[in-house]
């Protein structure tokens, strides 16, 4: 008996447009934030900023999409497109590797803890703030 096959459902044209528009907007914003290096002391924070902001937006969107029962195409626009284009694991990994190459081990630990910890906190913060706002609007 073989493995069950995954059924691939082709994406509709409008869904591709939502994904592309969201992704393009996220990529342009990430480029704008990361094109010039921002430092706090010797710690580069550009990638941290886009990862935390993108995580906050994603957390907020998760609550909005549930509360408002949004169509899946909006998840393509905001979650996969915009937040996927804005946040960047590969840049975070490269930045960390560059710090290791420069033997900046304490900055590597700060970068890793800040990106992971603050991104998680931003998801929870976005969800919490959006839940409070929606609760106040009822």
How far apart, in whole angstroms, are the C-alpha atoms of residue 75 and residue 53? 17
What DSSP element (H or E) covers 61? helix 46-67
Instruction: Judge whether 51 lies within some domain.
Output: yes
Instruction: Judge whether 119 lies within some domain.
Output: yes
Instruction: Judge whether 125 lies within some domain.
Output: yes
Give residue 7's pLDDT: 64
Instruction: Judge whether 115 lies within some domain.
Output: yes
Instruction: Judge whether 46 lies within some domain.
Output: yes
Q: The domain containing residue 59 runs over which residues? A: 39-137
Axis crossing angle, helix 46-67 with helix 105-137, rounded to the nearest 10: 30
Report the relative pairing of strands 43-44 and 39-40 from DSSP bridges. antiparallel
Question: Tokens 């990430």 identify what position?
Answer: 30
Task: Provide the pLDDT confidence category of residue 1 given band limits of 50, 70 and 90.
Answer: low
Q: What value does the CA radius of gyration of the chain take, rounded to a whole number of Å? A: 18
Q: What is the dihedral of CA 84, 26, 15, 65, to 10 degrees?
A: 70
Give residue 11's pLDDT: 75
Average pLDDT over residues 102-112: 96
Report the predicted TM-score, pTM, of the whole model to 2 decimal places: 0.84
Instruction: Judge whether 78 lies within some domain.
Output: yes
pLDDT in tens, 82-104: 999 999 898 899 999 999 999 99
pLDDT in tens, 24-76: 999 999 999 999 989 998 888 999 999 999 999 999 999 999 999 999 999 99
Instruction: Judge whether 98 lies within some domain.
Output: yes
């Amino acid at each position: 008996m073989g493995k069950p096959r995954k059924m691939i459902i082709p994406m509709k044209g409008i869904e591709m447009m939502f994904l592309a528009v969201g992704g393009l907007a996220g990529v342009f914003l990430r480029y704008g934030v990361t094109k010039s290096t921002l430092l706090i002391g010797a710690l580069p924070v550009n990638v941290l900023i886009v990862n935390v902001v993108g995580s906050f937006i994603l957390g907020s969107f998760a609550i909005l999409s549930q509360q408002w029962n949004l169509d899946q195409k909006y998840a393509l626009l905001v979650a996969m497109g915009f937040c996927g284009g804005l946040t960047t694991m590969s840049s975070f990994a490269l930045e960390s590797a560059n710090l290791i190459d420069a033997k900046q081990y304490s900055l590597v630990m700060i970068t890793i803890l800040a990106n992971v910890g603050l991104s998680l906190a931003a998801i929870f913060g976005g969800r919490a703030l959006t839940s409070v706002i929606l609760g106040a609007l009822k």
